[in-house]
Amino acid sequence: MFTATPIPFPTLTLKPGENYFSIDGKPGFIFSRNIAGYEQDHYNTFLDWMKTGGSKLARIQLDSLGMGYTSSGGVDENWAAQWDRVFDKAEADGIYILPVFSGWFDWNSGTGYSTWKSNPLNAANGGPVKSPAELFQKDSATQILWLQWMQTLVKRWQSRRNIPAWEIFSEVNLASGGTESTGISFVNLAASMIRASDPAHRPVTASLADDGRWPNFYRATEIDSINIHPYPIDSRLDRFVVAGVRQFLTAYKKPVLIGESDLVDPSKNPDADKALIGVRHAIWAGLVSGAMNGRGLYWVDSFAIYFQNLGYSFLQKFADADLPASRFVQGVDFSGFKPLASIPSSAVWGAAVGNETMVIGWYRDATSEPPDWNLKPKISKQTVILTVPGTAANWQIDFYNTKTGVDIVSSTMVTRTSDKITITLPEFKDDIAFKMYIQK
């Protein structure tokens, strides 16, 4: 059992009607990571990186250390004890945990990343299940068995203060034999069982692979947040995140969690130095997208540990990539923040969010695109026209160095014209961020 003295950390909740987690009662922004490994030391390392980096929420797929059940459906106690140690370590480091009970690959009988052949419940391994499709058959013995297993874990961990939410299933639409209607029924039943077993009534989520299928899933399921997994095939992750988050917010009227995301499979392009620019851009883009969290990367957060040609040396390149953005947003009250319409001039691209009294924005060199993310020596004489709510006429803008997140490079005053504010950006290389406040 990990015995380090826990450090204090605030309560993380999701209030009805809010698009952001509340940190000790005040809506704020949080950075998350997906951490995984096949031994305890991997989790200790990744949690240490989070502690010194900018992320405070670890999304953990519990099947990373095995699927967690015996061939008869009971909780594998050795497996659960391993997670107890990981959760203890996270709590001591002030890290929140989003447990994901299962993933599509455990219940997919295809090839590739499928792990159905090693599933303890598979009849071929002495279990009672002949097909993954049984998980989605209403009131089937398989479904009842799995839901009871999940409920046992919720009861086991419901007293942990560093679990702010639960994720039922990752990418349910990729499991074999499920349909949109049976997937909705399965998730709704699981959500109701979690709420019945969790006195804290933490929010519940579930995720789909972002491939365009099951358009009614997030509308019909009784989950508290959308859970998106953007993996753009062209690696333009920052653009994909901003567009996708805003589309989901408009379509489903629920907060949007970036469950996992990344550029491309790093085993195909392991140039970390080039990819780091794209990762940084995606982190800042998440901050101004309207999503409740940022980063949420998959391969470069930890899963590259499974590739022999990558490992720690590759992953460490990205270990603190979110630190400047997390410093920039520290203490910002996100109450009522919504995505804002903006029209940037041709040499820049980015986004902004805000309310009637404050706006934060981020814009970058519009030509810096994958696979090389080349940067111009300088960007100058560029403007952004924002549509800002409210009637406040005069605003102060502080422009920040995105490499530190805390250094103000210049400030200026602007005045509203109708509902528009035109911002002239200072000269910069790569990207620039700003905070804009009303002047009373």
Which candidate, 66, 64, 35, 31, places its Cα nearest to that of 48? 35
For residues 421-439, average pLDDT: 97
Q: Distance between CA atoms of 292 and 375, rounded to whole angstroms?
A: 29
For residues 379-397, average pLDDT: 97
CB hemisphere CA count around 212 (13 angstroms): 1
Give the pLDDT band (50/70/90) at residue 10: confident
pLDDT of residue 1: 45
More confident residue, 7 or 258: 258
The torsion defined by the Cα of 402, 405, 407 and 412, in degrees rounded to 10, comes to 70
Cα 58 to the center of its chain, rounded Å: 9
For residue 113, pLDDT beyond 90 = no
Burial classification of residue 252, based on how many CB atoms lie within 10 Å of its CB (0-12 exposed, 13-18 middle, 19 or more buried): middle
Please report, rounded to a whole number, the percentage of residues in the chain having pLDDT higher than 70.
97
For residue 342, pLDDT beyond 70 = yes
Find residue 256's DSSP bridge partners.
226
For residue 404, pLDDT beyond 60 = yes
pLDDT of residue 211: 65
Whether residue 215 has a cis bond before it, omega within 30° of 0: no
Continuous H helices in 123-179: 141-157
Output the pTM of the full model: 0.95
Q: Which CATH architecture has domain 12-329?
A: Alpha-Beta Barrel (3.20)
Do 153 and 80 meet the contact criterion of CB atoms below 8 Å apart?
yes
Please report, rounded to a whole number, the percentage of residues in the chain having pLDDT higher than 90.
89
pLDDT digits (tens, 9 = 90+) for 222-279: 999 999 999 999 999 999 999 999 999 999 999 999 999 999 777 776 688 889 999 9
pLDDT digits (tens, 9 = 90+) for 57-110: 999 999 999 999 999 999 999 999 999 999 999 999 999 999 999 999 999 998
CA distances from 130 to 109, 175, 311 (A): 11, 14, 36
Neighbours of 41 (CB within 10 A): 9
Same fold, 12-329 and 338-438: no
Q: Distance between CA atoms of 416 and 395, rounded to whole angstroms?
A: 8
CATH class of 338-438: mainly beta
What is the residue extent of each domain of the chain?
A: 12-329, 338-438
